Amino acid sequence: MGIVENYFDDIPKAILSFQLIEEALRGYLARCEVFTKTRVVDFIDYKLDLGVIEKASLGTLIDMFEKRNSNRILIKLLRVVAPERNFFAHAAYTYIYEKGEVDEDKVREVLRRLEDAIKNSRECFLDIWTESVSLENRFSGKKKKVTREEIDALYRKFESRECA
C-alpha cells in the first residue's frame, strides 16, 4: 500500500481518537452535573441540562472542563489537540492537493502531524478517564482503583471498534 492510501486509511483513525476525547469529556462533565445536583438538591432548584453537554463542540467542552477541573497539564494538552481535531475533521482530505495533484511532501507532513495527534489524543483520553474515576471516588467515598493499563485497554477496545 502506498503512502497516499495509508493517508486516506489513517485520517479516520485520527477523527475517531478526537471523538473519543469528546465522549470522555462529555462523560466527565455529565458526572459533574449529576454530582452537583445531588449535593444541592435540598438547597436550590438546580436545573440539570445535559443537552448542553451533548451538543457542545470540542472547544466548548474543553472550556467547560477547565471550569470544573484543575489538571493544567491535561487542559494544556487538550488545547493543543483541539486545532488538530479541526484540521483533520475539516481540511486533511483536501490539504494534500496542489493544482489537482497529490503532493507527497504534504502527505508526509500530515502523516507526521497525524501520528502526534493520535498520540496526544490517546493521552488526553487516558487522563480524562483517570480524572473521571477520581471524581467518582471523591463523590462516593470509595477508593476504586483503575490502572493506566485498564484504561489503555478500554481505549484500544474503542479504537478497534469492539464495543460497537
DSSP state for residue 44 in the 8-state scheme:
S
pLDDT tops 90 at residue 89: yes
11-69 pLDDT per residue, tens: 998 999 999 999 999 999 999 999 888 888 888 888 878 999 999 999 999 999 999 99
134-143 pLDDT per residue, tens: 888 888 887 7
Cβ-Cβ contacts under 8 Å for 87 (sequence gap 6 or more): 95, 113
pLDDT tops 80 at residue 160: no
Q: What's the whole-model pTM score? A: 0.85
Q: How far is CA 141 from the centre of its chain?
A: 27
